[in-house]
Structure 1
Amino acid sequence: MKLSGILMVIGSALLLGLFLYPLWNIRLEAPQYPDPLGMDIYIAGIEGEEEFDIQNIDGINHYIGMKKIPKPSEMWEFNVFPLVIGGMAGLGILLGALGFFGKISPNWFLAWLVLMAILGLLGMYDFNSWLLEYGTDLDPKAIIKLTDAEGNPLSYKPPLLGSERILNFTAHSYPETGAYMMFTGMFLTLVAWFTGRKAKKNRI
């Protein structure tokens, strides 16, 4: 159980990387912008890749009636997500320490992983819902109003994952460093469960 406990501690601690590195990145490419416009999405807010990226994106969005990129105080998620990640990291480290000393079954590691996976899926659902609202709730007084062949307003929702053409822009949406650290940490906790279960069977 000692090895599995160490792996659990390391895997859980990797979640703390989300406080330093972005979770997701959305980048917009267009002929009129030699350098793509990008925004990094952290668990506590959104920042531009370059100094004026957010300002430029808001300027473009204004013409088609999209809302400005929200500030941390304008979205409850940016207040709750850091608490959830910090809590899950702390809980995982505690479970790893207890496992190291043989105080708990490795099944606790699996329970942590399942809970983390559920929270992650809920987070992705919430993120996609925000993208949908962001790209479809347009100001009817916008300077530019574009519709499809049936006269319905166009959707400017960026993709949740992948690349998509939006007017003359190509939007790219992919995980960033923080997400890869989280995925690695979750994989290590799965390895910790397998390792702990195997060690427990060998002692029987």
Structure 2
Amino acid sequence: MRRRINYLMLIASLLLVLLFVFPLWRITLTAPQYPDGISMFIWINKITGDNEYTLQNINILNHYVGMQYIVPESIPELTYFPYIILFMTAAGVAVAFTNNKKLIGTWLVTMLILGILGIYDFYLWEYDYGHNLSDKAPIKVPGMAYQPPLLGTKMLLNFKADSYPHWGGAVLGLSIILSYVALIKSRFSHEKS
């Protein structure tokens, strides 16, 4: 039983490394001029698109309504989030070899708090991005804000914006679930002994 707990916690921790391989989130814009849609991918350490011109095209569209340019190098979270993930991976690996239910619980709670803070930070970024509009915008629609949805679908003028977790988000969720299972098994194991 204890080996299973160790393996679960080890897998939960090592899964976090995949956040450098897969994007966390995907925002897709679809409109008559983009019937196939253009997608922006938010990673733990960068922002990319369907191709090398995606961000440039999104920034051109944003210019018309006065939205800020997306400049990944200017987003501090993309610099320090990788270090947090690497720390949590190392901490999780260390916890995996302790068989200590309190440490497993602490790791799990820390991951949940980090996840909630990350989603809140993402919401604040989207809010600023969609509400802090330039007065010099060529197209002005009174009362209109262009905040993409945090989760789900929203119409922004003639653009349909879809915002959902991507493979990295699924991996993060799986990591949290596995650590929760390890915690439950750890508690059950301690009760039996």
TM-score by length of 2: 0.96
1:11 maps to 12
Q: Shift of residue 158 of structure 1?
A: 0.1
Q: Indicate the residue corresponding to 2:166 in structure 1.
A: 176
- Asked if the contact 1:3–1:196 (Cα under 8 Å) also holds between the matched residues in 2, the reply is no
User: How many residue pairs are counted as aligned between the two chains?
Assistant: 192
Percent of paired sites with the same residue: 41
- Report how far residue 196 of structure 1 moved: 1.4
Rounded to whole Å, the distance in 2 between the matches of 1:50 and 1:76 is 23
One-letter code of the match for 1:127?
F
Report the RMSD for the aligned CA atoms in angstroms. 1.0
Q: Does 1:141 align with 2:142?
A: no
**Aligned partners of 1:131 and 1:158 also within 8 Å:** yes
TM-superposed CA distance for 1:35, in Å, is 2.0
The secondary structure found in structure 1 opposite 2:38 is strand
Verify: 1:35 aligned to 2:46, yes or no: no
Cα deviations by residue, 1:149-180 (Å, 9 ceiling, x for unpaired): xxx3x100000000001100000000000110
Q: Identify the residue that residue 102 of structure 1 maps to in structure 2.
A: none
Aligned partners of 2:51 and 2:161: how far apart in 1? 17
Question: 1:161 — aligned with what?
Answer: 151
Structure 2 counterpart SS, 1:155: coil
Say which of 169, 174, 177 aligns to 1:187: 177
Q: Could you tell me which runs of 5 or more consecutive residues in structure 2 were left unpaired when the two chains were aligned.
A: none
Show the counterpart of 1:128. Answer: 123
5 Å matches for 1:75-114?
75-99=75-99, 105-114=100-109
Gaps of 5+ in 1: 100-104
Equivalent residue number for residue 23 of structure 1: 24
* Structure whose alpha-carbon radius of gyration is higher: 1
SS of equivalent to 2:98? helix
CA distance in 2, matches of 1:198, 1:110: 14
**Aligned counterparts of 1:45 and 1:70: Cα–Cα separation in 2:** 10
Q: Secondary structure at the match of 1:98?
A: coil
Q: Which residue of 2 aligns with 1:62?
A: 63
How big is each residue's C-alpha offset from its partner over 1:32-84, in whole Å with a ceiling of 9 and x where there is no partner? 1122011000011110122321111111111111111122x201101110011
Matches of 2:172 and 2:32, distance apart in 1: 35
After superposing on structure 2, the runs of 4+ consecutive aligned residues of structure 1 that deviate more than 4 Å are none
